[in-house]
Amino acid sequence: MCKAAERHAMTLKHRMALAAKRIVLGNLNQPQQCNIGIADPQPEIRVWLHGMGAPRDVTFAHSIACASPFTICIGGGVSPGDRTPGEPLALRFREHHDEKRLLAELSLRRTDTLLTKAPALLLFQVESCKNYCLPKGRLWAHYLHLAYVQSRSNSHIRMSTREAHAMIAAFICPRPVVLVSAVSESRNNMFPMNLLGNLGDGYFAFALDSTRLAAPLVADAGTVALSGIPMEHAEVARQLGKNHKRETISWNQLPFATKPSSAFSIPVPCFASRVIEMQIETTHNLGSHTFFVCRVITDERYSDGAQFFMVHGIYQSWRLAKHHEPRVPARRSVPSAPGKGASAARSN
């Protein structure tokens, strides 16, 4: 077969594969990781904790602590003694506006307590996951496609099916992408990260891949600066992802100008919309990721506007469908309290 015919055959095969993928996944097929520009703090989703007393909003008091085993850390003053006997322990992800529809639910099991100088932080692992962003058939088509992609991936982090589905649900809540700056003796680094969260009471936490060189550098540094990224600088920030594998970098080789942070004089991007400086209090190797618990030293905001956030493609499909669907009156009343009448949201 001549080269022209081979190219034609490959092109035809590629087109057929794309057509089959579109049939299976639908017209709103999205990549697994979708970059979006929204306000900070994100206004779209609220995360509710159930089973620890009255339902409580932990949207800005939780953080993904580890991918495998999939672990969530919850702060905000939640105590082990708050456990409500007989009530399922769960995180529920709801849209913040409109009908406050339930989009996902994670059934939890408490695994550990991290002590700090402030209230304790609780660690939970996921026992089951339900996702209501897509019709069940379409959702499972996405799940099967994800399983196929993972089977062909050379990623060193292996997640179970349950953990992979839990990560999808967790990224229904838009997660900010920041640039982390750290200095330890003669070593420097700056790299993007999206596993992080405010835990309340002046505490913040983030998780780094335990096998990458960035994690031990940050542990040795003891202090870090996290920089918010305006959406127009998202691509240049993503290009620094390779720095996770580097022991050190030269500040003058970065593709943008830097300035010293206020408290620790750590180089941060001049374009940073917000800079949070933190003192690392404890580190915990939880499995695939090392979890850093920090005290916030300074938190300075320099500009507003759309910020770099990341969501999963399944939620992005729901967002796009919602924005294009005709607005019709809700057929059911909105539940008076999160967690009641959850079935009212499951048709989406």
Task: Give the DSSP H/E element, type plus range, for residue 235.
Answer: helix 234-238
Confidence of residue 31 (pLDDT cuts 50, 70, 90): confident
**Residue 188: burial class (beta carbons within 10 Å; 0-12, 13-18, 19+):** buried
Pairing of strands 289-301, 203-209: antiparallel
Q: Please give the share of the chain, as a percent, with pLDDT higher than 70.
A: 84
Question: What's the CA gap between 40 and 230, in Å, rounded?
Answer: 10
Question: What residue has token string 């087109």?
Answer: 15
List residues bridging with 209 in a β-sheet. 289
Is residue 64 within 8 Å of 123, Cβ to Cβ?
Answer: no
Q: What HEC string does 106-140 produce?
A: EEEEEEEEECCCCCCEEEEEEEEEEECCCCHHHHH
- Given this chain, do its domains 44-173+314-328 and 175-308 carry the same CATH topology? yes
What mean pLDDT is predicted for residues 10-22?
A: 50
Cα–Cα distances (Å) from 74 to 57, 167, 316, 319, in that order, read: 11, 16, 25, 26
List residues bridging with 112 in a β-sheet. 123
Question: What residue has token string 């300075």?
Answer: 300
How many Cα atoms occupy the beta-carbon half-sphere of 248 within 13 Å?
A: 10
Lowest mean pLDDT among 15-19, 170-174, 209-213, 228-232: 15-19
Identify the CA nearest to 190 among candidates 251, 278, 234: 251
**Residue 14: burial class (beta carbons within 10 Å; 0-12, 13-18, 19+):** exposed
pLDDT per position as a tens digit, 94-133: 999 989 999 999 999 999 999 998 889 999 999 999 999 9
Cα–Cα distances (Å) from 85 to 51, 52, 81, 88, 89, in that order, read: 8, 9, 10, 8, 10
Torsion, Cα 311 307 78 66, to 10 degrees, reads: 50
pLDDT per position as a tens digit, 75-88: 999 999 999 999 99
Under CATH, to which class is 44-173+314-328 assigned?
mainly beta
Is 2.30.110.10 the CATH classification of the domain at 175-308?
yes
Give the pair of three-digit tokens for residue 156: 């060193």
Spans of all domains in the chain: 44-173+314-328, 175-308
Is residue 167 within 8 Å of 129, Cβ to Cβ?
Answer: no
pLDDT exceeds cutoff 70 at 282: yes
Question: What's the CA gap between 275 and 301, in Å, rounded?
Answer: 6
pLDDT per position as a tens digit, 47-70: 999 999 999 999 999 999 999 999
